[in-house]
Structure 1
Amino acid sequence: MDTRSIQTNSVLTLKEIYGPGRIFNPRTSFQPLRWVQVDYDLAHLDFYTGRELVVAGDMPVLCSQAVATDVVIKLLKEAGLEMASERYVYSTAEEYREMLRKLSKRNEKIVLQYLHPPGELNEKSYWIQPDLLAYLNNKASIDQLVPEENRPFRSVIKPSEIPHQLPIVIKVASDEPAAGGDGVVICRTEEDLRYACQMFKDAESVVVEEFLPIVRNYCVQFVVTAKGEILYIGSSEQVVNERGRYMGNWFDRREVPEEVILTGRKIIERAKMLGYVGVAGFDIVITQEGHCYVLDLNFRLNSSSVVLLLRDQIEEVYGAKGMHLRSWKIQCDFDRMIRVVRQKMEKGRLIPLSIYDPKASPYRDAQGYLSGLLLGDSREDVDHLNEQLILEGIGY
């Protein structure tokens, strides 16, 4: 067994970011949300509640029981990671809602990553007020939060006013939560345009944005701590498919342009002035002409936030030159997946970060999910490892 261990006690934790006396809730509401993971099942949304457990420190976290089973905790400990010491665990939608009611009655302050529909949680329970969260995450707000020179040509219009021109990018402009590429349609063909018009026909407004020739796509992340400090925690290069769907992140020592980081800092400084506290990730791209543009603002923890918080420790322990964050929907038997992951861990090639155990799921047909960091000497080496995992039935 590989004895390498990531010393998470030296990592910036959620407790240090948000301060004492708060509860972290990464779950979206169980009520249908139009622009959050619209093509995913409930098990997948529960899977996301395990993502930040290894960087929570002493901050209590609300999570699905399927991401905190004995099997999952044991494997993460073998990887040198420590789970949140205090967990509020739910199984079903009703258990989740009952937990919110109890926390609200106790006047607990909850750090939500996604706004919940009115009436589901007392507004006094939000640590960051819902109107601020809604404003900061609304794609229309980029016009006020991002410097003009770093905004692509864009306009906020009614869905009925969508122009018939190609190529363009259409995004919903809403106070409702959006994530993972939902609520965004890249229109290259007439068929794409018809699909976007149908998808957004009931939205109050949409953003129509110029299509950019992108060569580098970064998720640039900052923290505003409860003490008022602004910290740059790092950037990762995002993998996005031709439909605009998020496919993971690369972490290596390729230099991030200074303009990208400075642009992100200007945004987080404006958000701090408005009262925001917490992690924020900005999608900032470089075009073929070398221009720097901001495409999206996410005032919450992002998929790659955990790795950025752990990155220094991971690089010190493993010395990997190529690191790729990925998620898989498990295709093989869950027990086999655990054996394969443990084997790759022992070789120093994979660090599991979050696991969804379908045996603890309330959903009859639930599959397992895995999020992990692939490690190698180069990006090509890491890509080869991912191909091996797929052949072994881990997922796709």
Structure 2
Amino acid sequence: MSRGVAADAASGVLAPVVSPEQLLPDGAAFMARTDLQQTRMLGYTVFNLDAVTTLLLGVLGRRTTLRHRAGVTDEILGFLQRAGLRIEEDMRVFHGTEEAVARAREIVAEGKKLFWPYPPAPELYGEDAHLVPPALWARLNSKEALPEIVPPGGLAARELRAIDDLGGLALPVFLKAAGGEATGWGHAVRHCATEADVAAAKEDFAKLGVTRLVAEAALEVERCWCANLSVTDEGVRYLGAAEQTFSAPGQQAGSVIDLRHLLPEAGQALALEVAGNARAQGFLGVCGLDIGLTMDGRMVVFDPNFRFNACTPQVLLHPAAAARAEADVSLSFAGRREGALSDMLARLREPVEEGWFVPFRVIDASLMETAEGVNHCTGFVLGRDRAEAEARAEALAATLKG
């Protein structure tokens, strides 16, 4: 099934910072559907397996995509179009797992290369079906392999420890799962300030089947960003960065882009060098690198994300949206509401029309059983400063709860 919706230029189309051709190599097709075994170190639920396929609308141009039907109805695409997204993909739509696999195999048979944030089951499509070979993806995303691509001085002090050998650690420390399994969302990271924290972390990691850990010094950080880059045959391009907000050490809560606090040039240069090293190993596509500015002025890479990131749509669309809204700041937003989707969209309409809310994903729960009756909307709010953006996000959340 192929569908396309093009936004009318008169509606204020939001052009990404780079064209789809500059974002990804030719022939790359978006296919994010995976399974719980491949994502067991992420805390994924069955809802996440479906929901992840509804991301990146409005930034992929006419590329082939595989999407769950609950995120691409005419009602939803029309709403996103009115918000300024241009959606004109060669879109294949699925409902359940069997249909997703069948559609993906059709895409592979057409000679396209699949790209995804987390790998599908290895037996489904074959090694040659992917833009990035899964073995290379696993190596580049392994926290223990970071020294292979990050230059000297670009990492915090770290050591590799067996899970049964955690004595004598210099606290505070971050313990992170080693190995090549997919990690993210802070699910396989523990901040340890006391020996009791270390014991609890050891127990948590053991339940996940982790046998090796990276013990990384917990540096004092002024700010931390996710730097986004595109890697193609032509080279590496810096796309922008979103500052990370945290609910607790190592546990990211959201992203903010503030023209007053952009990633310094030294951080950009570090990101370009690391992505260039990954390119030399064969990586192609979009990636993100978590980079912090320490209190003593160092730029340090904390985590590799050789995949698109939650903040990637915000990074790509922020400049156009900020110019349209005459704003300097954007803040990530995720909203939920039970009931009819039309009711949620009605509550979002005014902020969209006023230009200070940009949605880039909407999920109709009536068409996605795993959503369990809860509609979802993801995007970002804009403001002249961070205080205004935060106030608007709070007001929008209240509107959805009302």
Write the mapping of 1:222-261 to structure 2, written as runs, cut at 5 A: 222-226=229-233, 228-254=234-260, 255-261=262-268
Cα distance in 2 for residues equivalent to 1:176 and 1:14:
29
Q: Is the counterpart of residue 304 in structure 1 residue 311 in structure 2?
A: yes
Secondary structure of the equivalent of 1:240? strand
- Tell me whether 372-381 or 196-205 shows the greater mean CA deviation: 196-205
- Residue 203 of structure 2 aligns to which amino acid in structure 1? Q
Could you give the per-residue CA deviations for residues 183-234 of structure 1, whole angstroms, max 9, x where no partner exists?
Answer: 11112344532332122222242111111112101111221123x2221111
CA displacement at 1:70 relative to structure 2: 1.6
- Residue 67 of structure 2 aligns to which amino acid in structure 1? C
Cα distance in 1 for residues equivalent to 2:300 and 2:124:
36
Secondary structure of the equivalent of 1:20? coil
Out of 70, 77, 96, the position equivalent to 1:73 is: 77
Cα distance in 1 for residues equivalent to 2:196 and 2:340:
39
Inter-CA distance 323–17: structure 2 relative to 1 (3 Å threshold)? closer
CA RMSD of aligned residues (A): 2.2
Cα distance in 2 for residues equivalent to 1:279 and 1:190:
38
CA displacement at 1:75 relative to structure 2: 0.6
Cα distance in 2 for residues equivalent to 1:364 and 1:234:
32
Inter-CA distance 260–108: structure 2 relative to 1 (3 Å threshold)? closer
- For the 8 Å contact 1:157–1:207, the answer to whether it is kept is yes
Q: Is the counterpart of residue 211 in structure 1 residue 215 in structure 2?
A: no
Secondary structure of the equivalent of 1:241? strand
Correspondence for 1:383? 390
- Residue 135 of structure 2 aligns to which amino acid in structure 1? D
Write the mapping of 1:113-128 to structure 2, written as runs, cut at 5 A: 113-128=117-132
Correspondence for 1:196? 201
CA displacement at 1:328 relative to structure 2: 2.8
Identity %: 26
Inter-CA distance 224–122: structure 2 relative to 1 (3 Å threshold)? same
CA displacement at 1:30 relative to structure 2: 4.7
- Residue 65 of structure 2 aligns to which amino acid in structure 1? V
Correspondence for 1:56? 60
Secondary structure of the equivalent of 2:58? helix
Cα distance in 1 for residues equivalent to 2:334 and 2:30:
22
Inter-CA distance 99–162: structure 2 relative to 1 (3 Å threshold)? farther
Correspondence for 1:24? 30
Q: Is the counterpart of residue 173 in structure 1 residue 195 in structure 2?
A: no
- For the 8 Å contact 1:25–1:111, the answer to whether it is kept is yes
Out of 272, 276, 281, the position equivalent to 1:274 is: 281
CA displacement at 1:106 relative to structure 2: 4.9
- In structure 1, stretches of 5+ residues that fail to align are none
Inter-CA distance 194–279: structure 2 relative to 1 (3 Å threshold)? same
Out of 95, 102, 116, the position equivalent to 2:99 is: 95
- For the 8 Å contact 2:25–2:284, the answer to whether it is kept is no
- For the 8 Å contact 2:330–2:382, the answer to whether it is kept is yes
Inter-CA distance 318–260: structure 2 relative to 1 (3 Å threshold)? same
Cα distance in 1 for residues equivalent to 2:88 and 2:253:
26
Cα distance in 2 for residues equivalent to 1:322 and 1:210:
31
TM-score normalised to structure 1 length: 0.91
Cα distance in 2 for residues equivalent to 1:28 and 1:14:
24
- Residue 232 of structure 1 aligns to which amino acid in structure 2? Y
Cα distance in 2 for residues equivalent to 1:322 and 1:331:
29
Secondary structure of the equivalent of 1:302? coil
TM-score normalised to structure 2 length: 0.90
Cα distance in 2 for residues equivalent to 1:123 and 1:113:
16
Task: State the number of aligned residues.
Answer: 389
Secondary structure of the equivalent of 1:353? strand
- Residue 215 of structure 1 aligns to which amino acid in structure 2? E
Q: Is the counterpart of residue 186 in structure 1 residue 191 in structure 2?
A: yes
Secondary structure of the equivalent of 2:333? strand
- Residue 297 of structure 2 aligns to which amino acid in structure 1? G
CA displacement at 1:361 relative to structure 2: 0.8
Cα distance in 1 for residues equivalent to 2:329 and 2:306:
27
Inter-CA distance 186–28: structure 2 relative to 1 (3 Å threshold)? farther
Secondary structure of the equivalent of 2:85? coil
Q: Is the counterpart of residue 155 in structure 1 residue 159 in structure 2?
A: yes
- For the 8 Å contact 1:330–1:369, the answer to whether it is kept is yes
- Tell me whether 11-20 or 353-362 shows the greater mean CA deviation: 11-20
